[in-house]
Amino acid sequence: MWLPRGCTSKYIVTHFRRRVFTSYFRVLGRRRCNVAAFMPEAAGFDGVSDRPALQDFSVSNSESFWAAAARQRLSWIRPFHTVQDCDLSRGQIKWFEGGQLNVSVNCLDRHVHTCPERVALIWERDESGSEVKVTYRELLEMTCRLGNLLRRHGVKRGDCVTIYMPTCPLAVASMLACARIGAAHNVVFAGFSAEALAERIRDAQSSTVITANQGVRGGKVTELKKTVDAALQSCPAVQQVFVAMRTENPVAMTARDVDMEEEMLKEDSVCEPTAMDSEDVLFLLYTSGSTGKPKGLVHTQAGYLLYAALTHRYVFSYHDGDVFGCVADIGWITGHSYSVYGPLANGGTTVLFESTPIYPNPGRYWEMVQRLKINQFYGAPTAIRLLLKYGDQWVHKYDRSTLKTLGSVGEPINTEAWEWYHSVVGDGRCPVVDTWWQTETGGICITPRPSEPDAEIVPGMAMRPFFGIKPALMDTEGKVLTSNDVSGALCMAQPWPGMARTIHNDHQRFIETYCQPYPGYFFTGDGAYRSKEGYYQITGRLDDVINVSGHRIGTAEIEDVLNQCSAVAESAAIGYSHDLKGQGVYAFVVLKKNVAVEGADLCQQLNSLVSKKIAKYACPDFIQFAQRLPKTRSGKIMRRVLRKVVERDLDGVGDLSTLDDPAAVQEIIKGHRDLCRKQQP
């Protein structure tokens, strides 16, 4: 044995032993202090010495975990007495009862006390290079003035205010002003048509609407106020419309309309926050389901805010001083949780993106990353796929060295897009987090991070449940699949604070949709595969909901509109794989007997009907006219068959013996072939 000169073997043994012990304790010490430095609450959790143990604890001791997080991360007016009172089988979900707080105080006042001049919002206006920064002090002042204005106009606790605005600071202030005075908000995506807006205003029973004169996106102006005026023709309950000026162009104002900015100036800049119970409604957000009627999902105060804040901090590894760039519109849940509530609850700096990924050119995102020094970028696969096609040069042109984490949301991200995002946009340095969640879940539920910093990330997989999330996969008989390497219906086996509480005015629909399919579990409507390693991969919707460019739309909603055309007898809308949009809409239309016209004119008419009644993104990419649709003997349209035809999987059409008239399938196949020849789906 070789020994260093002058060393005895005894010295070596002692030295070695000391080294082993020192490093052992160093590792232990580092782990302990790491997990507490990572999440301070963990110091109080027994036996939690590393991140995997923290994850286990959050699920098996969910109450202790969430109670500690709620105490640590939210400012309470009155502490809660009960952590949770949930019964998934009855659709009863209550968190932090007894507690009172104000969400706007949590998002604004407490940060104004510590760092009033910190930038809260960076409004990345459509006009590139003209960003506007709003500090916490300024945002609080804006919110208070608006809160006072709403109060003066009679808006009170429990009312619901509809917001139809572009993504901008006044829209955020409107949301927070509602929260400040105890009103719920109902943000409607500003791309929705007058009819879709009207339906949501009526269902939410809003008597107050906040809008802007116009919207500007991708260099195009949209007439928001005019759309509101058209919508209100069928909303007699609306008494007042507050109008902000996004552009210089004046709009016609009626006795019902209030010039919002001018009136805000007359208000006091201090607004007493209302003490809200944890389970009071914070907002409604409408989303598509498998019926024609959109559902207003209800999120409440404390649980939602805590979940948005915690996921924002840990999934993206957001640190104080970082600039967070979520490019979603505030009209979707992603905009609510990760442009507004999560970042602001954490005292962060958040970007409000008003434009499109290709305006004025396909370098828009990355030029913005360079100019605003964005640290976390959160976008949709549909945009990534689009930008990939324009080539790497648009990315390489700009300095992206500030980026630390890249996020993906809204739909599955295919491997090619994931790899490009990772290697070209992130230069192979930044973890890519594919985040699975939905309007119903309030925040991210399955995603690769937080995990150990060097834990593997599999391209295109959401992989790991977030703290407190316990996914379960169900087989076709409703039994829990316990092994790995299996696929099933994705459910959640226990409640978490961010989940939706009900559907506005329709708790029975909430129970039937989410709680009854698998009693005792929350059913997400998605399917998932659990790999051999135990990682989750989302396989898509199990119901008649499709996902176009990350936006959910029920096929029934599209069919309802198509059927309103006087020439249409019946229709069936199907989702199909689309290179850029993820899914496109393929519509089968049967015309009434006496209608001879087919073709371009009618297609155009049907498309403009869908655009008018819902929104542009819901328009069919293909319309196939047919003599009849394949139906079961009981008269149900066989969507499975139509889907297979559109996917060109004729071998997969399966058993047709239950069809009323199997010849209908042959006609559909031929019609599809003819259309493809003309139009290439």
By rule CB under 6 A, what count of residues binds ligand AMP?
Answer: 20
Question: To which residue do tokens 């970082």 refer?
Answer: 322
Nearest to ligand AMP of 53, 542 (CB atom): 542
**Long-range CB contacts for residues 341-344, cutoff 8 Å, separation at least 24:** 341/103, 341/107, 341/304, 341/305, 341/308, 341/309, 342/308, 342/309, 342/311, 342/312, 342/313, 342/443, 343/312, 343/318, 344/107, 344/108, 344/111, 344/120, 344/172, 344/176
Smallest CA-to-CA distance from 334 within 408, 282, 284 is with 408
Tokens of 610: 């869908």
Q: Which residues contact 464 (CB under 8 A, 6 or more apart)?
A: 55, 446, 447, 448, 449, 451, 535, 536
Tokens of 507: 């708790």
Nearest to ligand AMP of 136, 307 (CB atom): 307
538 forms part of the interface with ligand AMP (CB under 6 A): yes
> Can you tell me the distance from the alpha carbon of 499 to that of 300, in angstroms, rounded to the nearest whole number?
9
Rule CB under 6 A: choose which of 86, 196, 310, 409 binds ligand AMP.
409
Rule CB under 6 A: choose which of 183, 462, 546, 548 binds ligand AMP.
462
412 forms part of the interface with ligand AMP (CB under 6 A): yes
Smallest CA-to-CA distance from 579 within 554, 555, 549, 553 is with 549
287 forms part of the interface with ligand AMP (CB under 6 A): yes
> Can you tell me the distance from the alpha carbon of 591 to that of 628, in angstroms, rounded to the nearest whole number?
9
- Per CB under 6 A, which region of 11-19, 249-257, 384-392, 430-438 contacts ligand AMP? 430-438
- Per CB under 6 A, which region of 245-253, 403-411, 416-424, 481-489 contacts ligand AMP? 403-411
Q: DSSP E strands: which ranges in 341-446?
A: 349-353, 376-379, 405-409, 432-435
Rule CB under 6 A: choose which of 525, 554, 575, 620 binds ligand AMP.
525
Q: Which residues contact 600 (CB under 8 A, 6 or more apart)?
A: none
- Give the DSSP letter string of 569-591: EEEEEEEEEETTTEEEEEEEEEE
- Per CB under 6 A, which region of 247-255, 418-426, 431-439, 558-566 contacts ligand AMP? 431-439
189 forms part of the interface with ligand AMP (CB under 6 A): no
Q: Which residues contact 660 (CB under 8 A, 6 or more apart)?
A: 630, 631, 632, 633, 635
- Per CB under 6 A, which region of 110-118, 152-160, 405-413, 596-604 contacts ligand AMP? 405-413
- Per CB under 6 A, which region of 41-49, 111-119, 159-167, 524-532 contacts ligand AMP? 524-532
Rule CB under 6 A: choose which of 547, 555, 571, 583 binds ligand AMP.
547
Rule CB under 6 A: choose which of 102, 227, 439, 513 binds ligand AMP.
439
> Can you tell me the distance from the alpha carbon of 113 to that of 107, in angstroms, rounded to the nearest whole number?
12
- Least distance (Å) from ligand AMP to the CB of residue 438? 3
Rule CB under 6 A: choose which of 94, 400, 449, 552 binds ligand AMP.
552
Cβ 414 vs Cβ 432: under 8 Å: no
Tokens of 594: 């006496």
- Least distance (Å) from ligand AMP to the CB of residue 462? 5
The residue count of the chain comes to 681
- Least distance (Å) from ligand AMP to the CB of residue 39? 24
Rule CB under 6 A: choose which of 410, 495, 497, 554 binds ligand AMP.
410
The amino acid at 91: G
Q: Which residues contact 475 (CB under 8 A, 6 or more apart)?
A: 481, 488
- Least distance (Å) from ligand AMP to the CB of residue 398? 26
Q: Which residues contact 4 (CB under 8 A, 6 or more apart)?
A: none
Rule CB under 6 A: choose which of 188, 302, 333, 499 binds ligand AMP.
333
411 forms part of the interface with ligand AMP (CB under 6 A): yes
- Per CB under 6 A, which region of 82-90, 202-210, 519-527, 659-667 contacts ligand AMP? 519-527
Torsion of CA 304, 306, 310, 316, to 10 degrees: 40
435 forms part of the interface with ligand AMP (CB under 6 A): yes
- Least distance (Å) from ligand AMP to the CB of residue 217? 19
Nearest to ligand AMP of 231, 461 (CB atom): 461
CB atoms within 10 A of CB 599: 9
Nearest to ligand AMP of 177, 492 (CB atom): 492
434 forms part of the interface with ligand AMP (CB under 6 A): yes
Nearest to ligand AMP of 528, 602 (CB atom): 528
Rule CB under 6 A: choose which of 436, 510, 514, 523 binds ligand AMP.
436
- Least distance (Å) from ligand AMP to the CB of residue 528? 9
Interacting residues with ligand AMP (CB under 6 A)? 287, 333, 409-412, 434-439, 462, 524-526, 538, 541, 547, 552
